[in-house]
Every structure is written in structure tokens, then in C-alpha cells.
Amino acid sequence: MIINSVGNHLIKNLRLCLSTHPLRRWTGHTVKSCRSATCIYILTSLKKRNGPQYCLSSSLLNTWPERRMCLVSIRLYSGKIQRRRPKAAVENQAEDWNTHTGRNEDLSVLLAPHFSQSVETGRSHQLELPVENFNAEWDNVSPTKRSSQEMFFEQLSKCNSPSDVLDLVSESTLTWKMISNSLTTMWETTKKMSEDQKHYERRLMFEHPVFEKMCQEAMREARFMKFIDLSYSLLALVKIGVSQRSRLVQTLLRVTQERLNEFDERALSVLANCLQQMESCKNVEALRGGLRLLMEQRVPEIKTVIALQTTMRCVGKDAPLPLKKKLERKALSLVSEFTLPNAQHMFGTLAAMGHRSHLLLKACTNKVVENIHCIPYWRLVHILQSCKDLQYRDPSLLQAIGDHLASNLDIWQLKQLITFLLLFGDLGYRHVELMDAYIEKVLPVSESLTLKDVLYTLRAYSQVNHQPKRHREQFLDILTGMFESYLPRLTPLDLLRGVHHLCLMGNVPKAALRKLFEEDVLSELHSTANPYRERNTQLLQHINLCLELDHPSHPRLADASLEKPSDRKVCVNSEVQRAVYGILGDSSLYQQGLVLKNEYFIDFEITLDQERKNVISLPQNEDIRHDVRRVAVLCAPISAFCLGTTHPKDKLAMKIRHLEALGYHIAVVPEHKFGKLSEDERFTFLRSMIFAE
């Protein structure tokens, strides 16, 4: 730290002042007792053309917390600029401070903030004065106060609601530590409450006569709090529902902004979590900008994996890409030090940052696969959820988790297995052994399935189009029966989704369909106020197609009840088109870009003879003869198949089934595999798909 020679001289005088007899006169103030008042001098910089000079400013403080805070808050501002502070954090430094604090005086000297000074003043330097005399005086009375605080914290740990905390606060003289712990406890007590109970407890809390008093104390004591208590207090206030535009929350935001450089990794992590849940305002945005720049400055100093992961979580999804890349490079340099917990947490860390790093994820995947039997249930769930958020699909990771579950099926509950099946379905992965084993496990205890269990099971199996080889009819009948047993409790949206899942699997729930086609249910699904209106219409169209083509005898919705689907512009695959033309040699021998039933797009239609050996040219308007075979060539993207296979998922499977019902032979071309073939291999592949061998 660089201290001006004038500053050195003044510090010596200040120390002498504090260590001499209390009966001393300075600038007109007589200090008669160290217990009653202390005259503290604060060094302030005066902007001069020839460099900063220093002067003494005096303030008479009557309480010990104020005296102590002033002692540790004395700063000397050097004229030499060593490092510029983040500019984004100081742009809004004057925002509504008086509005938030209700004071007109300048508090910049007292708080000596890192971010509240202008960039031109350079780096601030903190100098703490010796406080031996004051500490000795405080030690004489601290045992009693310490005992009372310990008693307070012991009673605080027994509180079961915010009102209990406020009742305890009403009987105590609060310090900043007690305020911070009280706010955190108020939040903790509401964590496991139901929403109705939370609402009731919050109403009691806001109506409690002590709550306003505690908020006022929190505003006064905010500047004295340690950084970790400050971050937890802010988070607790947001969690318990205090208005983010309130004077209290804005004051804490401002103090946090000013003291941000003091925050350690833990406090920054808590603060980042809090800011993610807050609405945008000038103080919040300034704090987010300062936090991001502070994290970027600290990256080269990071030595441990835990510290790095904390930093990555702090920067969040809104961080610029160069910063994310910088953190990724730092993480890759520490890969050799990753433990199993580090590898597990890296999935969630990258998801929190919104950055998909294949190199990092692959390294962590290898570590997880090697130690799959050591990872608990919830950690596996978090890994899969992070993979879903990052759209990261690694077949080896999913296969290892699926094998682990299937080999230890007896230790897993049905709800746990359903959770994994849902996540697998969202990732487009079909683990055949696990899905068959789940059916074997659920059939004997099907009556214990709740409504959510039934809906989630239907969704998981319809997503990946899994049809079990054994007990298929029994499984569908049981699920249909359980689903229809909950009809009185189903919302219109759940009813629609459940029927859609069953129709995708080729089953028709008759009672559920009658309920779905009731006028009041359809009106709610088609309501303009319904945010899922377009999606609901699409699902109803799919259900109608399933009834028309899979079960023609079953009554269905009239076309007037359904909105006309919007025209979709779909282009045929140019590589497949060249291959088809190369095989047939004449563009008149095939049709391209056909749309059937206003829903199903066919890339190419080719007409063959009865033996499927020769191509037949038919006029477009001629009726289809019974002695010909029509082949529909469908180009499907990788997302239409289950991961690592060519097994069709829900929509493609339904499309294939319905086109077969219309008399087509289906030739499915996986675009991701077709694009990797040579020209000769493409011709061979298409010939084998179109013509019968």
C-alpha cells in the first residue's frame, strides 16, 4: 500500500490522539469519557491541480458500533492510480441514494466504498487504525453481551415461523449480526411450508408490529455487516417476499455495490443466486455488471476447482461469450485435478453459466461413467437435468446410467424410475432394458400409481415410441384404466395430453375421449386467453388423425371444430433428390413435396408394380390402381430418432403408421447418416429402401 508522506504524518498524530488521556480538546470538541464519546478524525482527499492533499474532518460519535466502524473505515486515497475499478459498477453510483436512505448527508467518506468513487480518483487504499484502547474497553463488557447474544441465537434456532422470530426480536436489543441471522431464520422457517401456509405466514409477518422496526434497524446496520451477512440478508429479504423496490432492499443493494470488492467466493455465490431472482432495476443492473467484471478480474488468481466453479456460477448465463471462454480455458487447465464431486458439479455449473463445452463435459462424463456406482440418486438426476438444459447428449453416459438403474432395479422406487425415464425421454434416449423392467415392476402394483405417475409414464413411453415385447396390451389397458379412473380430477390440459399420449401409442381411451369432446372442455382449450391454444389445436388434430386412420369406426371431431393448420414451407432434401433422380433417371417417374391430410409431408412418392421391381409412370390426377405399390420416401432429421439409433420417436412413428394405413410402403432416410455416405453408397442405400430385394 502506498501512503503519502503527509498521510504518514497525520496517521502518527491520529494514533497519538487516540492513545492519550481522554480529556483533550481538538477543534473545539471536549471528550470527557471514552465510554460516552470519541472524537475520530477521518482523512479525506481534496482534489487539487498539483495532486491530492489531505485534511482532517471531525465527527463526534456516541455509540460503540459507530466508533468501531469509523475506526476500521478510515481510508487514504492515493494520487497514484494502480488499477481502475470496473466502470459498469460506478455508472449508476448516484441513483436514488437519498430516496433509499432518507438522508441528505454524504456518506461516501464514512463508508469508503470501492465502487462509489469516480474512476479518475484511482484505487482506494484502506488503513485500519489501532484500536487497542477501544478493544480493551469493549472486552470489559463483552462477556455479558456475548452471553446475551448466545442466548438469543440459541432461542432463534428453536423458532418455527417468521412470527416466532419477530416475537423473539421484540424482546432483544439487536446488533447487525442478530438482524442478519433473524432474517435468514425467517426465510429458513418458510422453506418447507406449503404455498398457502407461506402466504398466511407472510401476511402475519408483514402485520407484525416489530417487523417495521427490524427493517429500520437493518437499514441502519447494513453498513456495519460483514459481507457474508450482507449477502445472506439480501437473499433472505427477497425470499420472504419483501418488495424489491422497497427502501430496505435498495439500501442493501447500494451498500453491497459499494463493498463488492470485499466479498469472498461464498458471499459472491450467495449474491449471484440472489441477483438471478431479482427484477431488473438500476441498482440491480449496476451490481450485476460490477459482479461480472470483478469475477473476470479474479479468474487468473483462481487456484482450486471449487473456487472456479463458484466463479462460473456467479457470472451466470448473461455473461459475454469471451468471459465464458476464459473460464472454460481455466477449467480445462485444471481438469487433471477434478475429483468425482468436481466432475458431478461441473455439469450443473456449465448449465448455470449456459455454456456447453464439449471438452469439459466429455472429461466429466468419463469420470462419472467410471464411478457410476458411487453416485447417489439425486446427483444422477441433477446430471441428467443439466444435460437436458445444455442439450448435451452423450450415449455412453446415458447408457451407463440406464445400465446402473436396470441392474439395481429392486433398490429404486417407482417415482425414482419415472424421474429417470422422463429425463431420458426429454434427451431422446430409449433404454430398452430399463423400460421393459419398469413395466414388469409396475404391473403388480398398478393400483398404487398416482395421477402424476400415470401421466408421466404415458409421456415417457410415448416420447420414445417404446412398445414392449411382452405384456404390451396388458400394460396399455392398465394405464388406460388408471388414467380414466382420474377423469373427475383431470384439468382440460392434462386430459388432452393424456389422450394424446395414448393415441400416439395406438390406444383409444373411449371414456376420456367423450370427456375431451365435451363443449365446455373444448371451449377452454380453444380460448384466446389460453397460452397453450396453438399447441392444443395441434394435439387435437393429431388425435383426430389417429381416430380417422387407426380407428375409423370411432366418432371424432368435426373439421369445423378444428382450426385449419397454417401452411408450412418444407423443402425436400437436395442430396436425396439428386440420388433419387440418379436412380430413376427421369423426374416424371416420381412426385415430390406432397402433403396428405394437411399434416404429413412426403418428400418423394414413387409408384412401382406389384412386385416392387419396376417403376410405373402415372398421371398425377389418375386414381390409384390396386395393382401398383406406392413408396413414400421420408427424409428425417436426427432429432426424429432416438439417440444413437434409427428407432423413430413419437411424431415420426405416428406418421409412418398413418401412411402405412393409407397404403404406402415407407422408406425412411436418416439425413444425419445419409450425408456421411459416398455417392455410390447413397445410390445403394436408396435402391435397397425403394425396391424389394
Residue 653's Cα: distance from chain center in Å?
Answer: 32
- Answer positive or negative: Cα dihedral of 156, 160, 161, 167: negative
Query: Under a CB-based contact definition with an 8 Å cutoff, are residues 553 and 539 in contact?
Result: no
What pLDDT digit, counting tens, does each position of 492-505 carry? 999 999 999 999 99
- Residue 314 or 92, more confident: 314
Of 603, 596, 594, 606, the C-alpha closest to 572 is: 603
The predicted pLDDT at position 30 comes to 36
Mean of the per-residue pLDDT values of the chain: 79
Tell me the pLDDT band of 623, cut-offs 50, 70 and 90: low
Give the global pTM. Answer: 0.70
The predicted pLDDT at position 101 comes to 36
Write 488-492 long-range contacts (CB < 8 A, 24+): 489/451, 490/451, 490/515, 492/521, 492/524, 492/525
Lowest-pLDDT range, 116-125, 323-332, 517-526? Answer: 116-125
Residue 103 has pLDDT above 60, yes or no: no
* Residue 91 dihedral angles phi and psi, to the nearest 5°: -65, -35
Tell me the pLDDT band of 26, cut-offs 50, 70 and 90: very low
What pLDDT digit, counting tens, does each position of 143-162 carry? 566 677 888 888 888 899 99
Q: SS in 3 state form for 214-247?
A: HHHHHHHHHHHCCHHHHHHHHHHHHHCCCCCCCH
Lowest-pLDDT range, 98-107, 324-333, 613-622? Answer: 98-107
The predicted pLDDT at position 669 comes to 94
* Mean pLDDT across 350-370: 95
Query: Under a CB-based contact definition with an 8 Å cutoff, are residues 547 and 508 in contact?
Result: yes
What pLDDT digit, counting tens, does each position of 110-135 carry? 223 333 333 233 333 332 333 333 34
DSSP string, 447-460: GG--HHHHHHHHHH
What pLDDT digit, counting tens, does each position of 415-445 carry? 999 999 999 999 999 999 999 999 999 999 8
DSSP β-ladder status, 29-31 and 53-61: unpaired
* Mean pLDDT across 635-663: 93
The predicted pLDDT at position 435 comes to 95
Residue 14 has pLDDT above 60, yes or no: no
Which residues contact residue 468 at a Cβ distance below 8 angstroms, ignoring those fewer than 6 apart?
A: 435, 436, 439, 475
The residue written with cell numbers 475520530 in the block is 40
* Mean pLDDT across 405-419: 92
Tell me the pLDDT band of 296, cut-offs 50, 70 and 90: confident
The predicted pLDDT at position 550 comes to 86
Q: How many CB atoms lie within 10 A of CB 432?
A: 16
Tell me the pLDDT band of 88, cut-offs 50, 70 and 90: very low
The predicted pLDDT at position 665 comes to 92
Tell me the three state secondary structure of residue 532: coil
The predicted pLDDT at position 150 comes to 84
Distance between CA atoms of residues 492 and 482, nearest Å:
17
What pLDDT digit, counting tens, does each position of 201-231 carry? 999 999 998 999 999 999 999 999 998 999 9
Q: What percent of the chain has pLDDT over 70?
A: 76
The residue written with cell numbers 417403376 in the block is 615
Residue 107 has pLDDT above 60, yes or no: no
Tell me the pLDDT band of 462, cut-offs 50, 70 and 90: very high
What pLDDT digit, counting tens, does each position of 560-602 carry? 456 665 556 678 888 999 999 998 888 888 888 888 888 899 9
The predicted pLDDT at position 354 comes to 93
Distance between CA atoms of residues 434 and 403, nearest Å:
8
The predicted pLDDT at position 554 comes to 80
The predicted pLDDT at position 59 comes to 37
Of 605, 599, 476, the C-alpha closest to 545 is: 599
Distance between CA atoms of residues 111 and 69, nearest Å:
9
The predicted pLDDT at position 610 comes to 80
Tell me the pLDDT band of 24, cut-offs 50, 70 and 90: very low
Of 487, 482, 410, the C-alpha closest to 453 is: 482
The predicted pLDDT at position 114 comes to 33
Instruction: Give, in order, the Cα–Cα distances in Å from 531 to each of 494, 527, 534, 536.
Output: 14, 9, 8, 9
Exposed/middle/buried for 90, CB within 10 Å: 0-12, 13-18, 19+? buried
